[in-house]
Amino acid sequence: MESDERILVPVGHDATRWRTFGGERTVVVAARTVTSLVRVVDVVPEILHDDPRIAVVFAYDPTSAFNDGVLDLLRSLGCRTLPWPQLAEITPDLLISASENIKVPPGRYPVLVLPHGVGFQKQVPDSAGPGTRLSGLVHDELLAARRAWLAVSHPDQESQLAAAHPGTVGRTVLVGDPCLDRLRASVRWRERYRAALGVLPGQRLVLVSSTWGEESLVGSWPGLPAELLAQLPTDEYRVALVLHPNIWSGHGAWQVRVMQHSALEAGLIAVDPTDGWQQALVASDLVIGDHGSVTLYGAALGRPVLLGAFGSEAVPGTAGYALRSAAARLEAGRPLPPQVEAAVAGHRADRFDEVGAAAFAEPGEALPRLRELVYELLGLERPKQPGRGPRTFPLPAPDTTRARSLMVRTAVVRDTGGELHLEVSRFPAALAGEAAEDETTFWHLACDVDEPDTRLTESATVVSSASEVLPTEAARRRVASVLSDFPGARIAALPGEDGCAVGTRDGRLVQVRAVDGPSPDPGSAAAAVYGCLRLGVPLGATAVVLVHGARRQRLLLRPVPPPGDQPAVSRARTSAARGLPPSS
């Protein structure tokens, strides 16, 4: 018969027989929700690094409604984990948690509770009954036993907690906010984050942030990401969505993706709930949020903020609540682009300074203060080597999401010198509404060859491919092949040796290259050719100015004769170089 006795490595009564590192102290990290676990694992390595005297194990508490994903995260990090009931079988020297709603076994060891957001800003459902409780406030028994220590980011939070529960008096420690310190340290990597997220130069990144609950932004306005993508031109804007981990845990990643399916197909950047929101926030040009912590962090970083929702669960008198009046509202039912543009253009970097000052104190000091506190609670002298400063967040995994099909609006303008300007705005076809045309405004549907939706590919006027660059005659054959595969299309475009190769169904091939700057993408090159065809402009050494929002680029369209007509090619090149129209 097998023994019921369990061997707990590196802790437990018999652990010394099995472990490699001796350790003078044991720290247990409570793992209850993804949100709280991420906060602790961000901090603990920065405090206890390189110290062989301290053994760290994780105790999994499955009692939360939002426990889904916790074990997966622990496994991915390689954490030594024990079930919560086994915590009673060992005697740790310190328990660290970013979840206040834990039932700690009786004992004498202290419990350090870190905030998993900004302060104590919300009333949340109480799992012990039908009412609500103040988020961040620990259970009465821990306070009564004088075992709990609550880390706070601002002195006002000490007063708030004292008013909410007298047992917190003398049990709070002002440390600052380690997450904000890292965000500020990461600002110097802003452009690197933007590049990793696929934000091109000249584009703006709109970050939609939502806490959890029915009064949250995504709870009250779930279609906002899709509405933004439908109304903001893809060449000028990217949209990212940061959802509280409790949403992913409570409803499941599958459900979240189904609810945002059209937005994801339209190029929405869905930020990983366990890693990446900090980089996206630093990279953003505008935050559209609610009463959640990410919105407040955005304000503290000096980002423009619009409120798409603000729940009644926000606690009056807190810094987070002050955003209710400090930030402007995003109004549903009104066009979104003017509201977005006004928020960015009219923003002052110091607009939310008072809000930030009321939420965060001791900037840059969170890690040194936490390090000092933890070693004091463990009864150990701090290592002689200095602690580390706030570290930049690592580069996120490259984002390759994009809309495969676009509705393209081309507005034709001629300047005073008669030069042709094509103002091109592209919108995700999956979200497009009615398209009205007139004498100077045209619409067409452009699809990528990888578009899986046959409803779109069968209606496409333009089909493009971002395949490898091909020599001219190979490009001609590839264009013909694409048009054969998409019999309803009139134009096919792909990268060429010098610019883009754009072919028409009647067999013409046009080279589109930039006179200045980088080569246009195939879709832009096709839009230039399509505009000329609609206007009846000959496709012979034609120069046009392509306008994407604030970006302008002069393009030269040059016909590529079939093989055997090289003299005509030479004449066309010579005429184009001299700025002359081609000979007839």
- Supply the pLDDT for residue 523: 94
pLDDT digits (tens, 9 = 90+) for 521-548: 999 999 999 999 998 888 888 899 999 8
Q: Are 197 and 242 in contact (CB under 8 A)?
A: no
pLDDT digits (tens, 9 = 90+) for 491-514: 999 998 888 999 999 999 999 999
Distance CA 309, CA 313 (A): 12
Average pLDDT on 564-572 reads 51
Looking at every residue in the chain, the average pLDDT score rounds to: 90
Higher-pLDDT residue of 9, 362: 362
Please report which confidence band the pLDDT of residue 289 belongs to, taking 50, 70 and 90 as the band edges.
very high
Here the tokens at position 333 are 């039912």
Here the tokens at position 327 are 């930030």
Distance CA 59, CA 73 (A): 13
Residue 501 per-residue DSSP state: E
Strands 491-496 and 462-464: parallel
Q: How many other C-beta atoms are found inside a 10 Å radius of the C-beta of residue 578?
A: 9
At a CB cut-off of 8 Å and minimum separation 6, what does 255 contact?
none
At a CB cut-off of 8 Å and minimum separation 6, what does 146 contact?
171
The sign of the CA dihedral 485, 488, 490, 491 is: negative
- Strands, DSSP E only, in 371-480? 405-414, 420-428, 441-448, 462-464
Distance CA 467, CA 465 (A): 5
Q: Are 99 and 36 in contact (CB under 8 A)?
A: yes
Exposure of 439 by Cβ count < 10 A (0-12 exposed, 13-18 middle, 19+ buried)? Answer: exposed
pLDDT digits (tens, 9 = 90+) for 470-490: 888 888 999 999 999 999 999
DSSP symbols for 348-387: -TTTTHHHHHHH--STT-HHHHHHHHHHHHHT-PPPSSPP
- Supply the pLDDT for residue 508: 93
- Supply the pLDDT for residue 6: 59
Distance CA 222, CA 40 (A): 30
Average pLDDT on 48-62 reads 93
Which residue blocks in 187-331 are alpha helix, DSSP H?
A: 190-196, 217-220, 224-231, 245-251, 253-259, 261-265, 277-283, 293-300, 319-326
Residue 400 per-residue DSSP state: -
> Which helix (DSSP H) or strand (DSSP E) does residue 477 occupy?
helix 472-485
Query: Is the bond preceding residue 201 a cis peptide, omega within 30 degrees?
Result: no
CA angle (400 as vertex; 397, 402 as ends), nearest 5 = 145
pLDDT digits (tens, 9 = 90+) for 295-308: 999 999 999 999 99
pLDDT digits (tens, 9 = 90+) for 123-158: 888 877 788 888 888 888 899 999 999 999 999 999
- Supply the pLDDT for residue 401: 85
Exposure of 275 by Cβ count < 10 A (0-12 exposed, 13-18 middle, 19+ buried)? Answer: middle
pLDDT digits (tens, 9 = 90+) for 87-127: 998 889 999 999 988 899 999 999 999 988 898 998 888 87
Whether 1 has a pLDDT exceeding 70, the answer reads: no
Instruction: Tell me the CB-side half-sphere exposure of residue 333, using CA atoms within 13 A.
Output: 0
pLDDT digits (tens, 9 = 90+) for 158-192: 999 999 999 999 999 999 999 999 999 999 999 99
Q: Are 225 and 260 in contact (CB under 8 A)?
A: yes
